[in-house]
Structures are given as structure tokens and as C-alpha cells.
Amino acid sequence: MDYEKKGRYIVDFPDIPKARQHQIEIEVDERRLNYSEVELGFNEERALQEAKRCLSCRRCLGCALCWAECKPEAINFEMEDEYFDIEADTVIISPGVERALDRTDKRFGFGSYPNVITDLHMDRMLSETGPSAGLVLRPFDGEIPSRIAFVQSYASTSPQMHNSALCFGINEAILVRAKLPQAEIQVFADDIEGFLKENEAAVKKLDRIDIRKGTVSAVEALDDQSLKLAAGSNGSEATETFDLVVLITQPQIPKDLKALTKSLGMDLAYASFLTEGSGLISTDKETVKLTAQG
């Protein structure tokens, strides 16, 4: 690519997960004595593989260089949403959840320390189709972390919300354990007794994932961007150092869902869509139902 020859700031990681795809070209013998097109472009398989490499260098600078260098103009920052009118007998809303990252307390260093990420970032990191192709690594230097802390980053909330957040974070810790069998993994959370009692059988099966009751009062980045955590419990406080900190965030009703239910004349309670099991939840509108978020 042209921009790689311009000496711009491109971080070179030796473990980029996928090699660059090359265009299909006709054989040399087929090129003789004719004016046939030599470069045939990508077939579907190569196009998909190349698309999956997008941002695999794991460090987006927000420079819009991808937009400037994209000759086919596949990247368009000015693209606007289109709206369509559709008639249906029943509307099923899959609410999902969102996490307000701007509510994360500054004491955790999110946005200031590159090796402090959220559970949503870890979710993308764990995905085989994500920017690191499933590699769990430190954003600062691309190194594999050997000590990882999952930290509750929100204040007290409803039991349903708290249980949902902890389940999401601990499930991620289980997935990290599968990828990093030698890593030390700890989970710090408040008001954890109810969760541990409710999930006692599952907790006993955890493989070297230490769940601790405690409040992380401060996170400090060291010279090598490792992170020193100060955590307190039962009136005492201790410090530990980790390579990566994952903030367990609080799920909440998405703003778009609030606006949608309001426009439909519905009243959606704070945690009403967090239920056990699966299926559809009836609402006060006969033709509108919610999918359960277990």
C-alpha cells in the first residue's frame, strides 16, 4: 500500500493474525498475444479474508488514513441512515444492553492507561473475528498478559443488573483461561455473597479463577504500563500488580430502546428484561413482545 511507503506512524506487530490477500491473476501463458485483463480482483473467499484483517494491527489512531487511501471509496464517514416503513402483525424487540463508559470512575484509569479496558473490549478481543483474531494481549505493547484482574467498575445496583454484570465478566474470565492456561486471573467485586450462593455449583467448577470480595480504590500505571491495584476488604487494603485490568461494567437499558418504548406508549422497567431462561416477554401492547435477556 502507498501509505506504508510514506514513513507514517504504522505500528509493526510481528504477530498480525492473517496474511494480506493478493488479487487473482491469470497465468502467464494466458497473457500472451492478447489484451485480456491480468488482475481479476478478489473472489468472495479472499475478499472476506482481507476484510477480516481490518485493524488487525490493533491500534487505530483515528487519523482517517483508511478513508483517504481507500480508492474504491468503500469507507464513507458521511454515510447517513436510511429509514423504511414496514407493516407487520407482531413486533419482537431484542433489547440487548448498553454500558455507559462515560460513567466509569476516573480512579480506574480508563481512557488514561492503555492496559485498562472494559468487558466490551475484552469481548471483541476474545472473538475470532475481532481485531486481534482471538488473541488476548495488552493494548500498550501487544504482549500476552500473565496476570489479569476483572474489576467491578460501577457502584451498587439492582441485584438483577449486578448478577448479569458479574456473569458476563466471569464468563469472559473463563474464556480467557481457555486461551491463557498459565495466566493468573482474579475477579474483584462488591456484594458478591448473593451471587456466589446462587451460582455455588458453577463457581466450584471454575479453573483457577479467584473471585474476591473487595473494592478497588485506585489503579496506578507503572513505568512498563503494568497496573498497581489498591483493593480493600473488611477494613484492610492491599496492593497487587497486574498486566491487564478488565473493568466489569454495568448493563442498562439502551437509550434507543427507551425512546422506542416511549414512542409506542410502553413503560419498560429498569431491569424487567433481565430474566432467567429464554423466550418472549409479553408487554402491555398485544402486538409487541420483548426477547428475554438471560
Query: Please, is 64 exposed, middle or buried when counting C-beta atoms within 10 Å of its C-beta (0-12, 13-18, 19+)?
Result: exposed
Say if residues 217 and 237 touch (Cβ distance below 8 Å).
yes
CATH 3.30.460.10, applies to 105-248:
no
- Residue 2: the pLDDT is 43
- Residue 114: the pLDDT is 93
Say if residues 15 and 144 touch (Cβ distance below 8 Å).
no
Distance set, CA 132 to CA 13, 45, 94, 129, 279 (Å): 11, 20, 28, 8, 33
How many CB atoms sit inside 10 A of residue 182's CB?
8
The residues, any chain, with a CB within 8 Å of residue 17's CB and separated by 6 or more, are: 53, 56, 132, 133, 134, 135
Pairing of strands 244-248, 116-118: parallel
Phi, psi (rounded to 5 degrees) for 166: -65, -40
Say if residues 261 and 254 touch (Cβ distance below 8 Å).
no
- Residue 5: the pLDDT is 44
- Residue 273: the pLDDT is 55
Mean pLDDT per block of 10 residues along the chain (294 residues) reads 43 60 83 79 84 64 76 80 88 76 82 92 90 90 95 84 88 95 94 87 90 91 95 83 95 79 72 57 76 63
- Residue 154: the pLDDT is 87
Report field, pTM of the whole predicted structure over 0.75: no
DSSP 111-165: TTSTTEEEHHHHHHHH-TTSTTTT----TTT-PPPSEEEEEE-S----HHHHHHH
Identify how many contiguous H helices and E strands the chain contains and give both numbers.
8, 13
Q: Distance between alpha carbon 97 and the CA centroid of its chain, in Å? A: 13
- Domain ranges (residues) in the chain: 2-69, 105-248
Tell me the chain's radius of gyration from C-alpha atoms: 24
3-state secondary structure of 25: strand
- Residue 29: the pLDDT is 82
The residues, any chain, with a CB within 8 Å of residue 53's CB and separated by 6 or more, are: 16, 17, 18, 20, 21
